[in-house]
Amino acid sequence: MTTVSHHAPKPAEQRLLTSPVLRFIALLALCSAYIQGLLVKIFDFAGAQAEMTHFGLLPAPLFAIGVIIFELLMSALVLSGVYRRPAALALAGFTLAATFIALRFWELPAGMERGMAMNGFFEHLGLAGAFLYVAAMDATRAKGGTPWSG
| pLDDT string in tens for the chain (150-residue length) | 555 556 677 888 888 888 899 999 999 999 999 999 999 999 999 999 999 999 999 999 999 999 999 999 999 999 999 999 999 999 999 999 999 999 999 999 999 999 999 999 999 999 999 999 999 999 988 877 655 443
Can you tell me the distance from the alpha carbon of 42 to that of 49, in angstroms, rounded to the nearest whole number?
A: 11
Instruction: Note if the pTM is more than 0.75.
Output: yes
